[in-house]
Amino acid sequence: MIPIIPAGSGKPAEPASTGNPQLWLKPGQIALPGSPPLSLYVHIPWCVRKCPYCDFNSHAAPGGQDSHDIPEDRYLDALRADLEQSLPLVWGRPVHTVFLGGGTPSLLSAAGMDRLLSDIRALLPLDADAEITMEANPGTFEAERFASYRASGINRLSIGIQSFNDAHLQALGRIHGEKEARAAIDIALRHFDNVNLDLMYALPGQTIDECVRDLESALSYGTAHLSLYHLTLEPNTLFAKFPPALPDEDLAYEMQDIIEARTAQAGYRHYETSAYARPHREARHNLNYWRFGDYLGIGAGAHGKLSFPNRILRQMRHKHPATYMDQAMAGNAVQEAREVGADELPFEFMLNALRLTDGVPASSFHDYTGLPLHAIGKMLAAAEQKGLLEADPTTIKPTELGRRFLNDLQEMFLKD
Ligand code: SF4
């Protein structure tokens, strides 16, 4: 039994089981014309070591210093129990994409991954052509295991490279160096044709030349997708406590401009704030988030968003892996469930949609929030007037200025 927080109250109501869909089917403030596409997110919460800049729900593997050992069987039992308890909330809805994130999902053994995907297939109606992505980190790559992952049904690999520069990788606390990064990409490309490389820029002490070298190294592999992130200091991380010297804003902008030009030259489209894809190779799972689609999130600390005819629900699982496993096995994987208020929906929708270079069709605002478009008419007009949104009534699309000042644009949709 967990507390449900009703829209607008900010306080838990009477305890009730969120697995009972009847609770979410009562009349409410919004009217959705249908269900948005549904994705599944699975969180694997362990890494070999915790990186000093990381604010994800990731924990050093419990086997001790630099261990690869995780309580795999028990965690897979918990994931299956969590999924079984969640089924009444998504009954009969097809799942278009699956994302195994973390943490480091590539710490799972080949047999463990096979079991996880079999459980997912047995319990959910997965599309025949579902995109199934797994995150992997260099240093956890073994050629044999990656062939098995592919055979189990993983069809997209996202590799956390971050840099090809040994000194920068060390400053970032990564367990791999350039050699391991390159070996991981070679193995990945042997088994997968849909590969994403994660790279970061504006790293401690990074020069323009070093940034260009990293970028050119990544481009040389010709992967389907690149994610290029500006390193930021997140609260509650080691870097926030002991901040390293980072390139100043002008230098970071210069790096961003170079990235923009070189990726375009190499045939990648900058289709989202940090995402670059070859034609038709956009990340379908992430696109569903940005379009405000639905996702069931299972695993320690996983978040989910699910729509019902008259309300939208957000869920969060217990964060600590040990607590999560105990609670999931006892039938209580969800720590918090909250209805999103009608007054919060415009900002939540725009926070995602405005990250997309092409924006979204204007009609999707009603389709995915259940609110009429005129509910945000004044905000749209104000953003257009400031030159932050395109003046096209059929789409909600940021201008170039809007993309540069994305935070300001998104904040215009906050409730008063
Ligand atoms: S490998 Fe990734 S998820 Fe794990 S601690 Fe480092 S940044 Fe975080």
Decide the pairing of beta strands 275-277 and 225-230: antiparallel
- Residue whose CB lies within 8 A of the most ligand 1 atoms, among 50, 174, 238, for a mutation test: 50
Q: What distance in angstroms lies between residue 31's CA and the mean position of ligand 1's atoms?
A: 39
> Does the C-beta of 106 come closer than 6 Å to ligand 1?
no
Strands (DSSP E) contained in 231-343 are 269-272, 275-277, 294-298, 303-308, 311-317, 334-339
Query: What is the Cα–Cα distance from 409 to 407, expressed in whole angstroms?
Result: 5
Nearest protein CA to atom 6 of ligand 1, as residue? 51
- Supply the pLDDT for residue 18: 59
- Residue whose CB lies within 8 A of the most ligand 1 atoms, among 137, 170, 180, for a mutation test: 137
Query: What is the Cα–Cα distance from 248 to 256, expressed in whole angstroms?
Result: 12
C-alpha 381: how far from chain center: 30
> Does the C-beta of 51 come closer than 6 Å to ligand 1?
yes
Gyration radius from the chain CA atoms = 21
- Return the sign of the alpha-carbon dihedral for residues 79, 80, 84, 85: negative
Look up tokens 């050119």; give the residue.
216
Q: What distance in angstroms lies between residue 218's CA and the mean position of ligand 1's atoms?
A: 19
Q: What distance in angstroms lies between residue 357's CA and the mean position of ligand 1's atoms?
A: 27
Instruction: Let me know: does 255 contact 229? Beta carbons within 8 Å.
Output: no
- Residue whose CB lies within 8 A of the most ligand 1 atoms, among 54, 107, 234, for a mutation test: 54
Q: What distance in angstroms lies between residue 54's CA and the mean position of ligand 1's atoms?
A: 6
Strands (DSSP E) contained in 75-138 are 95-102, 126-136
Tens-of-pLDDT digits for all 416 residues of the chain?
444 454 554 444 333 345 677 778 888 989 999 999 999 999 999 999 999 999 999 999 987 767 788 999 999 999 999 999 999 999 999 999 999 999 999 999 999 999 999 999 999 999 999 999 999 999 877 778 999 999 999 999 999 999 999 999 999 999 999 999 999 999 999 999 999 999 999 999 999 999 999 999 999 999 999 999 999 999 999 999 999 999 999 999 999 999 999 999 999 999 999 999 999 999 999 999 999 999 999 999 999 999 999 999 999 999 999 999 999 999 999 999 999 999 999 999 999 999 999 999 999 999 999 999 999 999 999 999 999 999 999 999 999 999 999 999 999 999 87
CA distances from 348 to 119, 253, 290, 291, 341 (A): 32, 27, 10, 11, 10
Hey, how many other C-beta atoms are within 10 angstroms of the C-beta on 61?
23
- Supply the pLDDT for residue 19: 66
Longest dimension (CA), the chain: 59
- Helix 249-265 / helix 208-219 crossing angle, nearest 10 deg: 30
> Does the C-beta of 39 come closer than 6 Å to ligand 1?
no
- Supply the pLDDT for residue 1: 40
Instruction: Let me know: does 86 contact 19? Beta carbons within 8 Å.
Output: yes
Instruction: Let me know: does 324 contact 299? Beta carbons within 8 Å.
Output: yes
- Supply the pLDDT for residue 20: 72
Query: What is the Cα–Cα distance from 10 to 54, expressed in whole angstroms?
Result: 28
- Supply the pLDDT for residue 416: 75
List domains and CATH numbers for the chain.
38-288 (3.20.20.70), 342-415 (1.10.10.10)
Q: Which two tokens stand for residue 375?
A: 């509910």
